[in-house]
Structure 1
Amino acid sequence: MDTQLQKVMDTAYACMQACNHCFNECLKEDDIDMVRECIRLDRECADMCQMVLSYAGREGVLQHDLISLCEKICQACGNECAQHEHMEHCQECAKACFACADACRAFVSA
């Protein structure tokens, strides 16, 4: 497995964990409406990262497309989480999302 694909897999795993944690912490917030989009994107991002992890090792025909889609979802989730500056779990999630988006972008452009 090449190093760029391994980087995608490593960052996707970390992103999936961060999104799941953020999702669970956001559900504990008193004002769910304030984090509704964050919760939705956390789920989508975690699911996409899990899918990338499942398919990446196969090197199938859809690998490039899945990793490209993962980059878009991770970027969107990171952008949303970054807006919640007062929530440490959102900031950590944003950091993991941006790292995964960067790794996916590098893989797709190679």
Structure 2
Amino acid sequence: MMNMYPSIVRVIQDCEAVCDHMVTHAGRMPDVQSRAAQLQLLRDCADVCALAARYIASDSPFSRESATLCADVCEACAAECMRHADEASQHCARVC
């Protein structure tokens, strides 16, 4: 089936990629001990973005539910990333 939402899928995939990168980046930060919540949300966000992108791209009957969950997790991830002043976290917050 043809994907009717390629731009949405691309945005979600971009968020997944940024969150995946941030897991590694944040894990190497000197203050990694204070980033447990951020690291968990980054992993969750990347995972849910991957699932939502696949569901939306394949026009799954679960597309809407996965998109809603994706939006909720992305919002939580963005809020947590905003708590950290480094540019990478701020960029991640904007992408989410």
TM-score, L = length of structure 1: 0.79
Tell me if structure 2 keeps the 8 A contact 1:21–1:89: no
2:88 matched residue in structure 1 = 89
Ranges in structure 1 where 5+ consecutive residues have no aligned partner = 98-110
Q: Distance in 1 between matches of 2:51 and 2:9?
A: 10
Q: CA deviation at 1:47?
A: 0.7
What percentage of aligned pairs have identical amino acids?
A: 26
Measured against aligned partners, the alpha-carbon deviations of 1:33-70 in whole angstroms (never above 9, x if no partner) come to: 21111110000000111111211122121110000000
Summarize the alignment of residues 16-31 of structure 1 with structure 2, pairs less than 5 Å apart: 16-31=16-31
2:12 matched residue in structure 1 = 12
RMSD of equivalent CA atoms: 1.2
Q: Distance in 2 between matches of 1:7 and 1:54?
A: 13
Q: Distance in 2 between matches of 1:13 and 1:20?
A: 10
Tell me whether 12-21 or 51-60 shows the greater mean CA deviation. 51-60
Q: Distance in 1 between matches of 2:11 and 2:25?
A: 21
Code of the aligned partner of 1:29 = M
Q: CA deviation at 1:17?
A: 1.0
Could you say what secondary structure the match of 1:59 adopts?
Answer: coil
Ranges in structure 2 where 5+ consecutive residues have no aligned partner = none
Tell me if structure 1 keeps the 8 A contact 2:15–2:95: yes
1:68 matched residue in structure 2 = 68
Aligned residues: 94
